[in-house]
A and B are shown apart, each in its own frame.
Chain A
């Protein structure tokens, strides 16, 4: 069965420090991976997707099929990055999107 695992419920870092939010998945086919973010009092929204291979707000994520991981990274965390981050998985062909349990990132001044 397909599954998305985010092992850290809470991650606390100082401003300017690097940050890595971990995501591992299990899926036998060719998955599409996403990161969604929910800032305080805002809707859940897409941050980035692996097929775009782009950097959004300084965040990047590389799909590692060998390790079945899609970790989210940023070299220098900012206070405004404090939010709830969810890793998500789907596949082509009209498949549902499933999410991990989420990681709350807290960036301290």
Chain B
């Protein structure tokens, strides 16, 4: 498929464990976003990669959260020492680039921290 792909689709982990969530954007898309979707909180911006520019990390809620994007393509969101409040759906989106507007979303990774 040519859409944004995320894995795993579901992840259940124990409090205190580290998790990694992966995003494969649409080929050729230079912009990549991570959002967190939880009940009552809407879509919370986490981090934004645009080409070779320094990422906008202003939405990361704590230093337990980090993300990287290798080779301008695949991205990994890492949550260290998970807490129960980290439970949410983590959405990845990509877009063609600067000023192209439309974001294309993946199906999300549902994280449950017990």
Contact = CB atoms under 8 A, between A and B. Distances in A.
B61 to A, nearest CB: 15
Interface residues of A, number: 24
Nearest to B106: A43
B75 to A, nearest CB: 15
Contact of B33 (A9, A32, A96): A96
Contacts of A43: 3, 105-107
Contact of A94 (B35, B41, B98, B103): B98
Interface string A57-71: 000000000000000
A73 B42 CA distance: 20
Contacts of B85: none
A94 B53 contact: yes
B45 A96 contact: yes
A32 B42 contact: no
A86 B91 CA distance: 14
Interface string A4-38: 00100100000000000000000000001010100
B112 to A, nearest CB: 18
B102 interface: yes
> How would you classify the secondary structure of chain A's contact residues: helix, strand, loop or mixed?
loop
A90 B68 CA distance: 22
Contacts of B41: 101
A92 B99 contact: yes
A99 B35 contact: yes
Given A96-B48, A97-B45, 13 more contacts: A6-B42, A32-B101, A43-B3, A43-B107, A92-B98, A94-B98, A96-B45, A96-B56, A96-B59, A97-B33, A97-B103, A101-B40, A101-B41
12 contacts: A9-B40, A34-B102, A43-B3, A43-B106, A44-B91, A92-B99, A93-B98, A94-B98, A96-B59, A97-B33, A99-B43, A102-B43
